[in-house]
């Protein structure tokens, strides 16, 4: 039988991880919401409520435990982290008031910063850089709009270049371009 | 009723995929005495579970920019998608509750824009329910949809997180059912009615099979309960059910042909409008079975 | 004036933060202080001996102890003063623990604050006056509110000691929730079998039961309460009724039985259960045809003793007692608001108490297991734990009894229906108690399946079966389980009407809504209102065994009080200076204890304080606009001296 090293030394984990999560979340939510993770009692009510968990290995409960104990790399690199549809069912039901869904969003923010944002997500973001819309107009829909008696282009950033410029300015200021790897020269994602 | 004008927030899916939603909502509201004006230069809300997952600060700033446009117009915002509602309402809630956060966001918006916190963000369902009221809608029904069995899908972000949204508990809501039943249609109970459609949180973009598997389960549950169509108050869920059925067939090989109606389309039919005026013919899944079911609709 | 100052270390509680040597040294510099000492535990015998010997050797007449809160040990030191022939009110405590060492970390600053507190106490004690305690009579009778197992136990203990006991029960029979149960853990006793001998208390010569009755008003004070009891009209003349039950049998009106969890019916004239005490039925006027339609009269016709009286009125009875024990029990949480569990929507989702009735031989199915939706025999059971307990959205506390009663019910199912599948979905199994863990283990051995996960949702299926979803947190798998019946272990809440009773008795409740004890550890049966005690679940969720212990404690507390014919009260009460008082009555308006009367004196009006009723709160002093009101031991000049001392710099 092959020998596997199955014992984890808790001391070797990143015990500051939970503080990092709370600190990151505090920037937008204030401290109270991310701090609720500390009160998780591992009852599993979240995981059993999860529509994604019923078809994937995503276990919200397990993620909160791993965060509190300091499994930083494991949590941030996991695919499961991205299976949450943010339906909030778990957050509504949590008996300890853990703001579960918000914590998933915070964890994803950290994961994105660590380079775990998927190509598909970057591409979706790319549409916003170019058009101000995550789902942009196309020729077919322009025809449909016209047929329905609407303007070919909606009165959004699609027909207001100055508004699009302002939106792009925001993306620069928040360094979202760096996070996504967007090249303003080519208006495309940088090749990794 | 006090005459009210809303700033009509379109977002992405509505103008760029399902213009019938915009058309039917604006039309029905106008007929019921609620006006709406364009929000020039508005953009992506941006999706709370998608952009919020990438970078909450960027999400918040972009949402604040949209709210600023309505503040300029001096109107409350009307949303037609749970994602847009969730995004703008949550951003507004956070910014109104935290002056320091507001300052930080305004630094990003400066110099041309400033979030002030002077307006509110509303969901279309709230406007139908609270501003117009069931009674007034009832009076406007000319073509009761008697006999039509509807699987109501609420979507998630209209009601949740309930502590932020403030529409009460989200386990057994009744607002949309009441709006559907006033048309004469029957809101049918079905298994896991409050389950997500699968669209949100970037799952559709990143792992479409997971998203569609959820959609498929919902559609199956509705069909098991014998519905003629599904009705939603959310453009994203609408896309997930309508476009999603094409994708489900492509990926899993299952073909359901469950007609998908946005609420104002259903209402439009009951208020005597031609389905073509409501953009119902410009969707992926044919809505004809609904028309066949109710006498006088064709 | 010879003052002694004693600084307590309280182990490291005080000395760990405050430099007690320095404080002692500082105390010697204060005016009037002839001796100052410190000791590890001033409240210990050697500590008290230090004070005793100084009173003797140094002729101390006033003493200050700098230690903990006066609520803790003021009495200890006053007793020392008294014992040594001094006046106990020439004593002050400086609270350098709760108000200093426990709440500060900076040692130098804390020590300086101790200087301030000691200086203030010394300033006060210098101005203290010797006072005499007030002696009052004690009524040697007790009132027990609630006739459940707690109330019964307390009543019996007091009655057996020879005291008269008045028991008031709001239901028509005593017995409480215990009478509803099927069996009790961990011994599997039949609750009625062990309860019935106690219910015989109605035959005890020292016990009077008022059933179907409620407390209307309580006035008076410790040792001397006057209680108004509303004896609600039963529409049955108790002296005539022989409990034959013919009226119940013949009554044509069926009503859902709350006692049976609405799983069965009772008549419009009914007793709660076969062994009810008293055996007098009550006519439910909301449903009786005589009252709703004006016709019927069957019960009156069939009654062999002519005991039915449709015109009977409520009666108000007044009783005088010296002590009151509140034993009002609990109410089961209605889980309807937890919509995802489907209670109220799905017929086969039951509460714990409903399940007790369903399996009880005197219950609606006579103990035959049938599920409510279709009467079919259920084979698969899910017990869902922590429903409305341990949940910030409902009740945050643990209801304590649910783990064990669920294990009991699950085990009984496996014992009596070995073919059944029984699951318990739990968050933690809390089985602390004698024989409890063993009981839990036996239930496992008998095949009860324990799944660690808080159930997420219950989905109703078309055939009335139920689909549960949960994560098994021990394997990380998400399960769906189909069962025929789900039983919710609902939280224990304070009994209905607790708020009203709280106001009547002027006792307080905790954030959980249960009545609050005077001290969670050291005074668990007392309330902060002298003479009123708590027994059983009125104070917080507890099982039968703990309830009996608690009730015995309450009876003991009450008997300590009513075993005396007289008692003494602290003389710290308000009084008015008759030469200054103008009898305006402002003080009377603000006094919530009804201790002030406005009386004529030499052709004018003055305020007169009843020293026994007065609690020394000081509201009247603040309300008095011409300085006529004062409180003994807290006079203006005494308080002012402390404030002046506080302003001085050490």
Hey, of A37, A40, A47, which one would you mutate to test binding to chain C, going by the most C CBs within 10 A of its CB?
A47
**Residue range C413-429: average pLDDT?**
97
Band (pLDDT 50/70/90 cuts) for residue B2 is low
How close B68 gets to chain A, by Cα (Å)? 12
Q: Percentage of chain A with pLDDT > 90?
A: 95
Angstrom distance (rounded) from CA C442 to CA C432:
15
Whether the CB-CB separation of B42 and A164 falls below 8 Å is answered with no
Band (pLDDT 50/70/90 cuts) for residue C615 is confident
**Residue range C529-538: average pLDDT?**
96
Does any domain span residue C637? no
Does any domain span residue C650? no
Which residue in A has a C-alpha nearest to residue C394's C-alpha?
A95
Q: Taking the CB of residue C426, how many other CB atoms lie within 10 A of it?
A: 23
DSSP class per residue in C512-526: TSSBPPSBTTTBSSB
Q: Taking the CB of residue C45, how many other CB atoms lie within 10 A of it?
A: 8
How close B191 gets to chain C, by Cα (Å)? 7
Give residue-wise pLDDT tens across range A123-179.
999 999 999 999 999 999 999 999 999 999 999 999 999 999 999 999 999 999 999
pLDDT at C592: 83
Alpha helices (H) in C454-601, listed in sequence order: 498-505, 544-562, 586-590
**Residue range C125-151: average pLDDT?**
96
Does any domain span residue C647? no
How many B×C Cβ pairs under 8 Å? 8
**Residue range C249-269: average pLDDT?**
97
Q: What is the CATH number of domain B4-124?
A: 1.20.1050.140
Does any domain span residue C641? no
Give residue-wise pLDDT tens across range B132-187.
999 999 999 999 999 999 999 999 999 999 999 999 999 999 999 999 999 999 99
Angstrom distance (rounded) from CA B159 to CA B162:
6
Same domain, C338 and C439: yes
Angstrom distance (rounded) from CA B266 to CA B153:
13
pLDDT at C570: 87
Interface check for B163 against chain C (CB to CB < 8 A): the answer is no
pLDDT at C453: 98
Same domain, C420 and C277: no
**Residue range B79-103: average pLDDT?**
98
Give residue-wise pLDDT tens across range C288-304.
999 999 999 999 999 99
Same domain, C390 and C433: yes
Tokens of C94: 């400086």
pLDDT at C588: 95
pLDDT at C550: 98
Q: Which residues of B touch A92 (CB under 8 A)?
A: 160-162, 169-171
Mark which of C566, C601, C618 sits at the end of a domain.
C566
**Residue range C207-235: average pLDDT?**
96
pLDDT at C650: 62
Same domain, C342 and C441: yes
**Residue range C597-616: average pLDDT?**
91
Q: Which residues of C touch B169 (CB under 8 A)?
A: 337, 339
Angstrom distance (rounded) from CA C171 to CA C173:
5
What's the whole-number average pLDDT of chain C? 96
Do the chains contact at B171 and C459, CB–CB below 8 Å? no
Same domain, C446 and C506: no
Q: Which of B16, B162, B217 sits opposite A136 (nearest CB)?
A: B16
Do the chains contact at C457 and A41, CB–CB below 8 Å? no
Q: Taking the CB of residue B129, how many other CB atoms lie within 10 A of it?
A: 18
Query: What is the sign, positive or negative, of the torsion defined by CA atoms of A113, A114, A115, A118?
Result: negative
Q: Are strands C532-534 and C323-326 parallel, antiparallel or unpaired?
A: parallel
- Residue C598 pairs in a beta bridge with C607
Which is nearest to C531 in space by CA: C149, C138, C216?
C138
Angstrom distance (rounded) from CA C279 to CA C173:
8
Which is nearest to C488 in space by CA: C454, C538, C445?
C454
Please give the model's pTM, rounded to 2 decimal places: 0.90
Give me the residue spans of the domains in chain B. Answer: 4-124, 134-293
Angstrom distance (rounded) from CA B80 to CA B26:
10
Q: Are strands C349-351 and C485-490 parallel, antiparallel or unpaired?
A: parallel
Q: Taking the CB of residue C295, how many other CB atoms lie within 10 A of it?
A: 8
Q: Which of B169, B191, B192 sits opposite C339 (nearest CB)?
A: B169
Look at the block and give the residue holding tokens 């019921």.
B32
How close B93 gets to chain A, by Cα (Å)? 10
DSSP letter, residue C399: -
Give residue-wise pLDDT tens across range C352-393.
999 999 999 999 999 999 999 999 999 999 999 999 999 999
For the stretch C20-26, contacts whose Cβ atoms lie closer than 8 Å and that sit 24 or more positions apart, written own/partner, are: C22/C111, C23/C66, C23/C96, C23/C111, C23/C114, C23/C115, C23/C118, C26/C115, C26/C118, C26/C650
Same domain, C375 and C471: yes
Q: Which residues of A touch C457 (CB under 8 A)?
A: 48-49
Does any domain span residue C623? yes
How close C614 gets to chain B, by Cα (Å)? 46
Query: What is the sign, positive or negative, of the torsion defined by CA atoms of A125, B157, B20, B151?
Result: positive
Find residues 352-371 of chain C whose CB sits inside 8 Å of chain A: none
* Chain A residues whose C-beta sits inside 8 Å of any chain C C-beta: 41-50, 53-54, 59, 61-62, 93, 95-97
Query: What is the arrangement of strands in the sheet containing C485-490, beginning at the earlier edge strand?
Result: C349-351, C485-490, C380-387, C421-426, C449-452
Class of domain B134-293: alpha beta
Which is nearest to A62 in space by CA: C400, C474, C527, B220?
C474
Interface check for C459 against chain B (CB to CB < 8 A): the answer is yes
pLDDT at A3: 78
How close C392 gets to chain A, by Cα (Å)? 5
Does any domain span residue C643? no
Whether the CB-CB separation of A34 and A83 falls below 8 Å is answered with no
pLDDT at A192: 60
Interface check for C470 against chain A (CB to CB < 8 A): the answer is yes
**Residue range A50-76: average pLDDT?**
97
Q: Which of A48, A62, A96 sits opposite C456 (nearest CB)?
A: A48
Do the chains contact at B205 and A154, CB–CB below 8 Å? no
Q: Percentage of chain B with pLDDT > 90?
A: 96
Mark which of C83, C107, C131 sits at the end of a domain.
C131
Q: Which residues of A touch C456 (CB under 8 A)?
A: 44-49, 93
Band (pLDDT 50/70/90 cuts) for residue B266 is very high
Do the chains contact at C473 and A44, CB–CB below 8 Å? yes
Give residue-wise pLDDT tens across range C3-12.
999 999 999 9
How close B255 gets to chain A, by Cα (Å)? 21
Same domain, C439 and C521: no
Q: Which residues of B touch C337 (CB under 8 A)?
A: 169
**Residue range C263-270: average pLDDT?**
97
In this predicted structure, the answer to whether residue B54 has a pLDDT above a threshold of 90 is: yes
Give residue-wise pLDDT tens across range C27-72.
999 999 999 999 999 999 999 999 999 999 999 999 999 999 998 8
> The domain that contains C35 carries what CATH number?
3.40.50
Give CA separation, C377 vs B102, B116, C380, C484, in Å. 62, 64, 10, 9
**Residue range C125-137: average pLDDT?**
95
Same domain, C218 and C324: yes
Same domain, C270 and C258: yes
Tokens of C326: 């509140």
Give residue-wise pLDDT tens across range A90-106.
999 999 999 999 999 99
How close C464 gets to chain B, by Cα (Å)? 13
Domain count, chain C: 5
Q: Taking the CB of residue B257, how many other CB atoms lie within 10 A of it?
A: 12
Do the chains contact at C459 and B192, CB–CB below 8 Å? yes
Same domain, C481 and C389: yes
Q: Which residues of B touch C339 (CB under 8 A)?
A: 169, 171-172
Q: Count of residues for chain A? A: 192
In this predicted structure, the answer to whether residue B1 has a pLDDT above a threshold of 60 is: no
* ipTM (interface pTM): 0.96
Give residue-wise pLDDT tens across range A34-46.
999 999 999 999 9
pLDDT at B298: 65
Domain that holds residue C521: 134-232+314-329+495-566
**Residue range C605-627: average pLDDT?**
92
**Residue range B60-83: average pLDDT?**
98
Find residues 332-351 of chain C whose CB sits inside 8 Å of chain B: 337, 339-340
Same domain, C209 and C325: yes
Kindly report the backbone phi and psi dihedral angles of residue A34, in degrees, each rounded to the nearest multiple of 5, phi listed first: -65, -30
Find residues 620-639 of chain C whose CB sits inside 8 Å of chain A: none
């Amino acid at each position: 039988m092959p020998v596997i090293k199955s014992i984890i030394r808790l001391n070797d984990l990143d015990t500051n991880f939970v503080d990092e999560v709370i600190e990151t979340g505090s920037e937008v939510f204030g401290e109270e919401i991310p701090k609720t993770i500390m009160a998780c009692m591992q009852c599993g009510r979240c995981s059993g409520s999860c529509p994604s968990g019923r078809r994937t290995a995503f276990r919200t409960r397990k993620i909160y435990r791993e965060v509190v104990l300091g499994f930083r790399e494991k949590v941030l690199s996991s695919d499961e982290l991205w299976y949450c549809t943010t339906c909030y069912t778990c957050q509504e039901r949590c008996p300890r008031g853990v703001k579960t869904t918000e914590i998933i969003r915070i964890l994803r923010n950290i994961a994105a910063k660590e380079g775990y944002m998927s190509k598909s997500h970057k591409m979706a973001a790319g549409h916003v850089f170019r058009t101000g819309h995550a789902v942009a107009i196309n020729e077919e829909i322009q025809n449909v709009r016209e047929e329905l008696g609407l303007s070919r282009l909606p009165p959004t950033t699609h027909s207001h270049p100055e508004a699009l410029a302002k939106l792009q300015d925001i993306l620069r200021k928040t360094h979202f371009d760096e996070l996504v790897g967007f090249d303003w020269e080519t208006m495309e994602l940088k090749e990794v | 009723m006090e005459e009210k004008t809303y700033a009509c927030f379109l977002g992405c899916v509505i103008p760029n995929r399902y213009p019938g939603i915009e058309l039917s909502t604006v039309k029905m509201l106008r007929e019921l005495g609620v006006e709406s004006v364009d929000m020039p230069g508005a953009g992506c809300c941006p999706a709370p579970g998608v952009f919020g997952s990438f970078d909450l600060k960027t999400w918040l700033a972009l949402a604040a920019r949209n709210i600023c446009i309505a503040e300029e117009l001096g109107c409350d915002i009307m949303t037609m998608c749970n994602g847009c509602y969730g995004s703008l309402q949550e951003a507004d809630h956070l910014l109104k509750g935290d002056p320091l956060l507001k300052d930080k966001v305004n630094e990003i918006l400066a110099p041309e824009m400033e979030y002030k916190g002077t307006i509110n963000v509303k969901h279309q369902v709230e406007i139908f329910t609270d501003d117009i009221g069931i009674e007034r809608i009832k009076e406007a029904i000319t073509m009761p949809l008697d006999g039509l069995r509807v699987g109501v899908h609420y979507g998630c972000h209209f009601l949740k997180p309930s502590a932020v949204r403030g529409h009460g508990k989200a386990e057994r809501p009744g607002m949309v059912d009441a709006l559907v039943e006033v048309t004469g249609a029957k809101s049918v109970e079905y298994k896991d009615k409050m389950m997500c459609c699968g669209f949100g949180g970037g799952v559709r973009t990143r792992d479409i099979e997971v998203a569609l598997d959820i959609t498929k389960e919902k559609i199956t549950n509705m069909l098991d309960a014998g519905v003629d169509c599904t009705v939603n108050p959310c453009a994203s869920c609408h896309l997930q059910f309508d476009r999603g059925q094409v994708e489900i067939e492509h990926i899993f090989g299952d073909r359901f042909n469950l007609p998908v109606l946005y609420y104002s389309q259903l209402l439009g039919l009951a208020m005597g409008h031609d389905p073509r005026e409501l953009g119902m013919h410009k969707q992926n899944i044919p809505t004809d079975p609904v028309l066949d079911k109710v006498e006088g609709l064709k | 004036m010879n003052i002694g100052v004693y600084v307590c270390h309280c182990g490291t509680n005080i000395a760990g933060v405050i430099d007690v040597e320095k404080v002692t040294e500082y105390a010697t510099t204060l005016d009037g202080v002839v001796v100052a000492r410190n000791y590890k535990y001033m409240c210990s015998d050697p500590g008290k001996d230090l004070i005793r010997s100084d009173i003797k050797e140094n002729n101390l007449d006033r003493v200050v102890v700098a230690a903990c809160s006066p609520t803790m040990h003021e009495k200890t030191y006053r007793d020392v003063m008294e014992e040594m022939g001094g006046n106990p009110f020439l004593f002050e405590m400086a609270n350098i623990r709760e108000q200093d060492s426990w709440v500060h970390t900076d040692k130098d600053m804390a020590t300086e604050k101790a200087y301030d507190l000691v200086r203030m106490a010394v300033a006060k004690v210098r101005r203290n006056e010797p006072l005499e305690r007030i002696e009052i009579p004690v009524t040697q009778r007790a009132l027990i509110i609630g006739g459940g197992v707690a109330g019964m136990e307390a009543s019996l203990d007091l009655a057996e000691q020879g005291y008269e006991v008045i028991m008031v029960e709001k239901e028509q029979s005593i017995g409480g929730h215990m009478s509803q149960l099927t069996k009790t853990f961990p011994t599997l006793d039949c609750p009625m079998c062990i309860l019935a001998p106690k219910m015989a208390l109605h035959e005890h010569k020292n016990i009077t039961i008022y059933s179907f009755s409620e407390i209307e008003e309580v006035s008076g004070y410790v040792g001397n309460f006057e209680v108004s009891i509303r004896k609600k009209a039963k529409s049955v003349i108790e002296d005539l009724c022989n409990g034959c039950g013919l009226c119940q049998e013949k009554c044509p009106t069926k009503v859902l039985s709350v006692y049976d969890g609405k799983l069965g019916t009772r008549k419009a004239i009914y007793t709660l259960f076969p062994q009810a005490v008293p055996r007098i039925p009550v006519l439910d006027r909301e449903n009786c045809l005589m009252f709703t339609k004006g016709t019927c009269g069957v019960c009156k016709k069939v009654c062999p003793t002519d005991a039915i009286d449709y015109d009977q009125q409520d009666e108000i009875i007044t009783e005088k007692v010296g002590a009151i024990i509140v034993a009002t029990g609990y109410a089961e949480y209605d889980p309807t608001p937890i919509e995802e569990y489907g209670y109220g929507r799905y017929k086969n989702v039951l509460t714990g108490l409903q399940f007790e009735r369903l399996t009880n031989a005197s219950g609606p199915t006579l103990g035959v297991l049938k599920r409510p939706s279709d009467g079919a025999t259920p084979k698969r059971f899910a017990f869902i734990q922590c429903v409305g307990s341990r949940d910030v959205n409902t009740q945050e506390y643990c209801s304590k009894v649910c783990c064990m009663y669920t294990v009991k019910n699950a085990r009984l199912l496996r014992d009596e229906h070995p073919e059944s599948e029984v699951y318990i979905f739990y968050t933690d199994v809390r089985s602390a108690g004698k024989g409890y863990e063993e009981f839990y283990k036996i239930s496992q051995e008998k095949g009860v399946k324990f799944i660690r996960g808080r159930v997420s949702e219950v989905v109703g299926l078309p055939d009335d079966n139920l689909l549960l979803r949960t994560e098994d947190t021990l394997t990380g798998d998400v399960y769906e389980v189909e069962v025929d019946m789900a039983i919710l272990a609902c939280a224990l809440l304070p009994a209905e009407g607790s708020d009203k009773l709280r106001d009547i008795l002027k006792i307080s409740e905790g954030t959980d809504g249960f009545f609050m004890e005077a001290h969670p550890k050291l005074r668990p049966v007392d309330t902060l209102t002298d003479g009123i005690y708590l027994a059983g679940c009125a104070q917080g969720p507890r099982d039968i065994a703990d309830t009996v212990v608690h009730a015995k404690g309450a009876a003991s507390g009450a008997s300590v009080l009513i075993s005396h014919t007289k008692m003494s009260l602290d003389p710290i009460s308000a009084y008015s200076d008759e030469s200054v008082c103008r009898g305006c009555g402002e003080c009377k308006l603000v006094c919530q204890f009804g201790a002030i009367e406005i009386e004529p004196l030499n052709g004018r009006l003055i305020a007169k304080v009843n020293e026994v009723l007065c609690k020394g709160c000081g509201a009247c002093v603040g309300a008095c606009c011409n300085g006529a009101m004062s409180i003994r031991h807290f006079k203006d000049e005494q308080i002012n001296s402390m404030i002046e001392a506080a302003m001085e710099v050490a």
